[in-house]
Structures are given as structure tokens and as C-alpha cells.
Amino acid sequence: MAEGENEVRWDGLCSRDSTARETALENIRQTILRKTEYLRSVKETPFRPSDGLSNAVSSDGLNKLLAHLLMLSKRCPFKDVREKSEFILKSVQELGIRIPRPLGHGPSRFIPEKEILQVGSEDAQMHALFADSFAALGRLDNITLVMVFHPQYLESFLKTQHYLLQMDGPLPLHYRHYIGIMAAARHQCSYLVNLHVNDFLHVGGDPKWLNGLENAPQKLQNLGELNKVLAHRPWLITKEHIEGLLKAEEHSWSLAELVHAVVLLTHYHSLASFTFGCGISPEIHCDGGHTFRPPSVSNYCICDITNGNHSVDEMQVNSAGNVSVSDSFFEVEALMEKMRQLQECRDEEEASQEEMASRFEIEKRESMFVFSSDDEEVTPARDVSRHFEDTSYGYKDFSRHGMHVPTFRVQDYCWEDHGYSLVNRLYPDVGQLIDEKFHIAYNLTYNTMAMHKDVDTSMLRRAIWNYIHCMFGIRYDDYDYGEINQLLDRSFKVYIKTVVCTPEKVTQRMYDSFWRQFKHSEKVHVNLLLIEARMQAELLYALRAITRYMT
């Protein structure tokens, strides 16, 4: 069989023209059937031991195709494609070939599948978003499916991501994906690494680079240090880091490239936070997203329990443990009451200057004890860790850190005034896109809290945002950090801190144990705040260093 015939072109499916999709699907169908036939004929002829290898290879290829088809049948925004690919899978099955089935039951391990929007039942706006995303990437990833709780944000997010990865920019395409891999690997986020390994190869990246950072060009290796510091201790970035990258003779970065890289790094660091924070499951067509084994009892149990895919009461017992429903109901009430109090007594009680200053220090110091008890070092899976060096380097508390690092004052260097101008100057249009994204994330509200309506949540959102910045040593002069203590309880702080600083340690337990009465969409909303605040914090430190270098 000629290799050309085996090539399956998926890009036709991204077309918005239904006839074009149909032709593409028909081609795929024929290819697959041809392969299947071939495979069967190979099987039926028992001799030819030399053929064993090619047999394995081609069946492997077929399996990949089938997995992709399975993904399409579940996740394509176009109904005709979903149906047709399911049909193809069925017909292959009839031919006696084992077909894959998805592992797990949804895009997120933490959120039951039925809570998440089903592909096919979206409204017009969401469909447009899905179609855009599908057309750009040829897939609808789980992150998108979870974020679609907040379509307004998703739109901005996808637009930014698309611009960063595919539109005009100083870095070549494969560099961009490789930097994405580097950033995600820093947090051992195999989900993002897998996705981008595929994309990296697709845009013509050198597979050798994937064996580890030391196989990548020196230029990218130089970026490793910045990646490391940025991911875990951004306050340590100095203009020397920047200078080191910009003045490395033939391996040096240009300012524009560096800004592009920094934006990509911060984007993927925070996206890794989201992936862990919402328990995004592997993509169906990637490793670990599907299985060819027939469903067995044991298998069923494992994946379903970890996915929280059982009846509601069961989940309550399982996750909320011994806390009763009424208890958690009071939680919401108490939070609302506190917000009301703060709103009212704000004008009366005036904290003194010193007290305000010390509150920030207290919050900063406390944030370091907030960690969940288990502090054991998890050795990262080998396949991911090879994309970065110095695996032991992790988040160290800002305040516990040995040498004295001065507090970062937002009033002296803020995103709106300074960061934006710098990014937009060096990487046009991106400043605008990110600015929009920050804005939407910060101002997003439905005026609801759990079962309450018409609540002004701005205070709560600001507390979350400023708490994250506080963990990175960024201080707002005009904020009373006492509010944080009032509004965020301990389990919530644990969750925030883990998601932002060491996302790889997030567990289902943490996710379930904060804000028990709140809806999943609200928890996703919290995650959006977390990742945007984190991204801004990292960006601020990196951009300030660049500014200092330039002056």
C-alpha cells in the first residue's frame, strides 16, 4: 500500500462547509476501511513471520485513527461529523476490529459530566465559540469544555491563545509550542505537554527536541532558567536574567521575542494551574483518554469513583465527608453576612497606618502556613520532567525566603499603565488581548452566590485577586488585607495556594472541600480568577525586569 493513501487528512473536517466536511469524512472512511481490510487479510494469512512488525505498526496507526474518530464522535461541534464518525466506528467494529471507548466520563475529573455542557446542546453563541476553536485547532479540548461555563471569558481566552500560537509574532510556530511544553512541564502538567507535543510535531518541530531540553537549541535552553524562576519564584527575576538572555551572542533573544516568550510562559504556567485546579482529564485521542479494552467491572469502578460520576448523595458522602449539608449551607450565609458587615462598617472603623501595613505582612506570612499538611516531594513522572531541568526547584514562600525581597507595589508598576504599554510596544496587539482577558476575568460576575441572587461579589473577587498577588509579594496600597482573613476561610486558602503555587498537588478532596454549597460553575469562575491573577503577577515581575533592563 502506498503511504500516500494512508495519509488521513483531518483538516477538511474543520471546514464550515458541510459538503466539504462530508467529502473529508468519506475519504477518511475509505482509508480506514482499506486499512481494516488490509489488517484482516494480514491476520488471515498466518505465515510470514517477517510481517509481524509491519502488522504491529499498521494496527497501531489504525488505532490512532480510531481514537481520533472516537474523539470526533464525542467532541466535534458539527453534528454531521459526530454522527458519521460514530457510524464509521460502528462499521469498523462490525468488521471485527476492536474499537476504543473513552476512559472516564467527561472533561473534568472533579466535575460530574452531567454538570458540564454536552457538545450538541450548546446555544448559538457557544456553538460559534466551539466552531471557532475547532476550526483553529481541529479539536475541542477539555479545557474549552470546562471554560464554556463562562462563554464571555472563553471567547477572549481562545482569541488570545489563538493569537499567541498561530498569528503573527516574532517566534516561529514550533518555538511557541515548545515554550508551551517547557512551561507546562515545569508544573508536570502532562495534559498540556501531550497536547503541545502533538501540535509541535504537527507544525514541523524536530522530534529530537522532545527528548529533553538539552536537545533543543541553545537559545531555548537559555530560557530554561527564566521559566524556572518565573514559574515558582517570580519575585527573584532581575534585570540580569533579562540581560543574560538578550546578550548571548548568536543565541541571544530579541526583545520582541523575549516578550512573546514571557507571555507564552506565563500563559502556560497559569493554564497548568487551571488544568490541575479543575481536574481536566486527558483528551480522548491522547494517551490515557481512551482504552481498547472492553468495559470490565473493576475498570468501571476505578474510573467512576475518581471521576465523581455517581449519584449526588454518594458524592456528598464521599467528598464532603462528615460535614452535613446544613453545615455547608451556613457557610454561605456566614460569608454573605461577613461581606455585608465589611461593606457597612468600612467607613466607621479606621485601621491605623501601621495596622494596615502589618495586616499585609500577616497575610503574607500566614499564606505560607496555609499549605496542606502533606509536604512530601512528589518526583515528577519521567516523561514530563525531561522538558525542564532542576526538578527540585519549586515554590518557596515569598516571606520565608532567605534574603530580603522588597515588596512589589502595584502603584509603582501596574499592568494597566506600565505592563500594557511595554507588551503592546514590543508585541503589538497582544497587550490589548491580554488586557481584555484580565478585565473580563476580574469583572466577570453573575451577581449570584450559590443559591443567592443579586449579590455584589466584587469584594470577594477583589479579596481573591489580592490574596494571590499577596502570595507573590505584590501589595496594593489601597487595600485592607484584613478583609482577606474575613472572607476566605482556611480550606479555600489551601485550595488557592495549592492551585497557584503547586498545582500538581491539587486533589479532588481540596476541590470538594472548599465552598461546598457553591455551584461547579462558580468554582470554575474562581479558577479563572486564580489563573489570571497568577498570570498578571508573573507578567508584572517579568515586565518590570525588562523595563529595568531597558532603562
Identify the helix (H) or strand (E) that includes residue 101.
strand 101-102
Report the alpha-carbon distance of residue 465 to residue 468 in Å, rounded: 5
User: Of the two residues 209 and 274, which places its CB atom closer to another protein in the complex?
Assistant: 209
Which residues are within 8 A (CB) of 315 and not within 5 positions of it... i.e. 6 or more apart?
112, 308
Angle between helices 255-277 and 430-443 (to 10 degrees): 30
Instruction: With beta carbons less than 8 A apart as the criterion, state whether 512 and 319 touch.
Output: yes
478 binds another protein (CB under 8 A): yes
Active-site residue flag, 14: no
- Regarding 351 and contact with another protein (CB under 8 A), the answer is no
Smallest separation, CB 477 to another protein (Å): 4
- Window of 59-67, 182-190, 310-318, 409-417 that interacts with another protein by CB under 8 A: 409-417
Stretch that binds another protein, among 265-273, 373-381, 393-401, 417-425 (CB under 8 A): 417-425
Stretch that binds another protein, among 115-123, 210-218, 282-290, 418-426 (CB under 8 A): 418-426
Supply the minimum distance, in Å, between the C-beta of residue 172 and another protein. 7
Helix ranges (H only) for 77-150 are 79-94, 124-137, 142-147
Cβ distance to another protein smaller for residue 158 or 370: 158
Quote the least distance from Cβ 357 to another protein, whole Å: 7
34, 310, 409, 490: which one binds another protein (CB under 8 A): 409
By beta-carbon proximity to another protein, the closer residue of 79 and 90 is 79
- Report the largest interatomic distance among the alpha carbons of the chain, rounded to a whole angstrom: 90
- Least CB distance to another protein at residue 248 (A): 17
Residue 218 or residue 379: which is nearer to another protein going by CB?
A: 218
Strands 452-453 and 474-475 turn out to be: unpaired
Distances from the Cα of 222 to the Cα of 249, 288, 389, 523, 548, angstroms: 12, 32, 11, 37, 20
Q: Does 132 bind another protein (CB under 8 A)?
A: yes
DSSP string, 70-97: HHHHHH-S-HHHHHHHHHHHHHHHHTT-
Residue 291 or 547 having the CB closest to another protein: 547
Sequence length of the chain is 551
Q: Which residue has the cell 529530537?
A: 208
Measured in Å, how far apart are the chain's first and last C-alpha atoms?
A: 63
Which residue among 33, 42, 131, 320 contacts another protein (CB under 8 A)?
131
Are the C-beta atoms of residues 99 and 292 closer than 8 Å to each other? Answer: yes
Helices and strands per DSSP (H, E), number in the chain: 24, 6
Among 33, 95, 128, 444, contact with another protein (rule: CB under 8 A)? 128
- Catalytic residue among 14, 76, 189, 501, which? 189
Which stretch, 228-236, 260-268, 288-296, 415-423, contacts another protein (CB under 8 A)?
415-423
Q: Which helix (H) or strand (E) holds 291?
A: strand 290-291
CB closer to another protein out of 415 and 518: 415
Out of 45, 326, 373, 551, the only residue in the binding site for another protein (CB under 8 A) is 551
Distance CA 419, CA 499 (A): 24
H/E stretch holding 452 reads: strand 452-453
Which of the residues 171 through 210 are near another protein (CB under 8 A)?
A: 172
CB-wise, 13 or 286, nearer to another protein? Answer: 13
Binding piece for another protein, criterion CB under 8 A, among 204-212, 319-327, 353-361, 509-517: 353-361
Q: Which residues does the annotation mark as catalytic?
A: 189
Residues near another protein (CB under 8 A) = 15-17, 128, 131-132, 135, 167-168, 172, 346, 350, 353-354, 356-357, 409, 411-412, 416-418, 420-422, 425, 432, 435, 477-479, 547, 550-551
